[in-house]
Structure 1
Amino acid sequence: MRIPALVLRDGERKQLESWVRSSSVRAGLAQRARIVLLAADGVSNTEIAERVGVSRPTVTGWRARYAKDGIDGLFDEQRSGRPRQVDRLKIIATTLRPPPQRLGVTHWSSRLLAQHLKTSNSTVAKAWREAGVQPWRSETFKFSTDPELIAKVTDVVGLYLAPPENAVVLCVDEKSQIQALDRTAPMLPMRPFVPAKRTHDYVRHGTTTLFAALDIATGTVTGICQPRHRHQEFLRFLKQVAKAYPDTDLHLVMDNYATHKRIEIRDWLADNPRIHVHFTPTSASWMNLVEVWFGIIERQAIHRGTFTSVSQLTGKIRGFINGWNDRAHPFVWTKTADQILTKAIRKTTSITDH
């Protein structure tokens, strides 16, 4: 005898259908909803079991639960016994210690720690979220040990915040070893909902070094590409900068790279007293604003480019500089010397305390 179709309660079909379609509902609940819907459509218990992939007693059981309690009967019943208590502080304390050497890993994953503490990885993940702990992340740091740290920070920041009158402040540096990379296949252009694509492998066609001077007041850049990265090329670039700003006092901000301090450079600066050099502290090249501009040209012109030769690469760089200078804007420094030094001292103290 054929079993009559299961009668659904008012308004519950829509909810059951949403559970079946949802990707966020637990698989067991979605499966039970499908069983009930098929039963409501008059499908036999045997056929439902075959379609859903469960036993016939499972089908009859969930039909009976729904007939008795409606949609609420499809949820798991409360299990007997006291739920296992997990010490959140223990999870965090264990996370902050290195894993045992026998595991051969550098940091915990939620599943590995859950297995170690005999709990669920969702419990571990929740504890991590609440405590703001992210074992999978790692950042780098470096602080300056320059004995003239205070003087150099004060000097450079003073130039940025209060430039000398009738003078130009230029941030000078070089971006070395820029590679002319050619992809092994043509790039695929961007399309709606599809980003541009390029092959992961490439062919190298040589390198160039970009010497650049950023005028912080206007944002314009004076640049030159050179095949090598020596004091001879740097001196040639300084002469180009001096020619670009004739009869004007120049204050050059640069880092402590050895090329910048060669005797040939010092002699040339001595013969050009209108040019003054200000060195950033060691390990603090981020204070040189031209580094910000190097990041811009890398993202906008170099990183996604394809170049079959160094000359093509240098042509692209020159074209970017020309276009940049047409739309340039001032580079504004906002941090005071006291703010920078306070943070540097705090970071140094925090590291040495450990």
Structure 2
Amino acid sequence: MCGGLVEREQVADDLGISRETVRKWRARFVKDRLEGLTDRPRPGPPRRITDEQVEALVTKTLDEKPSSGDSHWSTRSMAEATGMSQSAVSRIWRAFGLKPHTVETWKLSTDPQFVTKVRDVVGIYLSPPENALVLAVDEKSQIQALDRTQPVLPMAPTTPARMTHDYVRHGTTSLFAALDIASGSVIAQHHRRHRHTEFLRFLKTIDAAVPKDLDLHLVLDNYATHKTEAVKKWLLRHPRFHLHFTPTSASWLNLVERWFAELTRRKLRRSAHRSVIELERDIRGWINEWNKNPKPFVWTKTADEILETLAAYCTTINDSRH
């Protein structure tokens, strides 16, 4: 008996389950052998929604629109259309990850050099050149200095911080940023405009900030200010700069966009500023703190994996049209 108890404890520990569970299933096996291991009817009322009804509801959600002319199904309209309760519709949608009320933006690039550019940019992320710095560069334009119309109420126990939904605008600024993909540190500069003139100033700032013995590989989008004659002439005089352009409509390939998202989430979204000068000072302070302990964003997918995923997605889109 003692040996059986020790063995039961060992099995429970190995599987991460209770000793009572081990005891129950061993007893059922001893009594009925393999038949004792099958699921038995559970307590409670019998299941009222069949697999066929679930399949029909999921199909209806994916393939049909409400007869009312609404753009998407709600639990109420689907319940009326299927004869189920709203709670049942909600449970089935959650089980299948369906969210008819949610829509996300997307756009496939039509760049004729899409594949070449993806391989170039991803290649430089995964295998940076020696004796070189790889910088993801872009501008976050039209950052607004916004002040709430009434004071922000601080957080209190059981109550989150609160701010008014309306605000007063006090002007805009543009932030030029270059993210070092190896260290995560950022070179940044504010300008009130974002023409090629400002972009050239930022290139000069990068040139002055990076040791002269390093080549510079810049990942950029196809914004017109990056390709003007003045910029091209300056680059000819500074041959250590090498530009790598992302495909059109593919800003997700530029890692600095990930850093801009952090800036927005952790600083801008809940801040209030009474002037552009105050906004710029606040952003500079946040960037200085970031650079004290920078965190790189590690790119993991290969170009082939990205292209295979997009090819499968395009196939799904084409199939859905038929």
Deviation at 1:129, TM superposition (A): 4.0
Structure 2 CA distance for aligned equivalents of residues 226 and 293 of structure 1: 18
How many Å separate the matches in 1 of 2:55 and 2:177? 52
Structure 2: gaps of 5 or more residues: 1-44
Sequence identity percentage: 55
Distance 1:223 1:264 in 2: 21
Query: Counterparts of 2:298 and 2:97 in 1: how far apart (Å)?
Result: 33
Residue type at the aligned position of 1:163: P
SS at match of 2:154: coil
| Aligned partner (choices 272, 277, 280) of residue 311 of structure 1 | 277
Quote the Cα distance in structure 1 between the aligned partners of 2:73 and 2:93: 11
1:88–1:295 Cα change, 3 Å: closer
- 1: CA distance, partners of 2:182 / 2:53: 57
Task: Read off the aligned partner of 2:268 and give its amino acid letter.
Answer: I
Matched ranges for 1:138-177 at <5 A = 138-177=103-142
1:196 aligns with 2:161: yes
Distance (Å, rounded) in 1 between the aligned partners of 2:78 and 2:153: 43
Q: Is the 8 A contact 1:98 1:106 kept in 2?
A: no
CA drift of 1:84 comes to 9.6
Q: Distance in 2 between matches of 1:282 and 1:291?
A: 15
CA distance in 1, matches of 2:192, 2:220: 21
Q: Deviations for 1:181-204, whole angstroms, at most 9, x for unmatched residues?
A: 001111111223322111111100
Q: Which runs of 5+ in 1 are unaligned?
A: 1-77
Q: What TM-score, normalized by structure 2, do the two folds share?
A: 0.79
What's the CA shift for 1:124? 3.2
Distance in 2, Cα, partners of 1:348 & 1:256 = 23
Structural RMSD (CA): 2.1
1:130 to partner: Cα distance: 4.5
Comparing 140-149 and 255-264, the one that deviates more = 140-149
CA gap of 1:308–1:112, structure 2 versus 1, over 3 A, is: same
Q: 1:271 aligns with which of 237, 243, 251?
A: 237
Instruction: Give the whole-Å Cα distance in 2 for the aligned partners of 1:220 and 1:172.
Output: 12
How many Å apart are 1:178 and its aligned residue? 0.3
Amino acid at match of 1:287: L
**1:108: which partner in 2?**
73
2:189 and 2:183 map into 1 onto residues whose CA distance is 19
User: What corresponds to 1:245 in structure 2?
Assistant: 210
CA shift, 1:146, in A, is 1.7
- SS of 2:314's partner is helix
Q: How many corresponding residue pairs?
A: 272
Alignment of 1:27-106 (within 5 A): 87-101=53-67, 103-106=68-71
Tell me which of the two structures has the higher relative contact order, counting C-alpha pairs closer than 8 angstroms and 6 or more residues apart: 2
Look up the match of 1:182. 147
C-alpha offsets along residues 147-195 of structure 1, whole Å, 9 cap, x if unaligned? 2122111111111111111111111000001000001111111223322
Cα distance between partner residues in 2 of 1:246 and 1:84: 69
Q: Deviations over 1:35-54 (max 9, x none)?
A: xxxxxxxxxxxxxxxxxxxx
8 Å CA contact 2:173, 2:192 repeated in 1: yes
Instruction: Name the amino acid aligned to 1:348.
Output: C
Aligned-partner SS, 1:96: helix
Bigger Rg, which one = 1
Cα separation, 2, equivalents of 1:118 and 1:300: 45
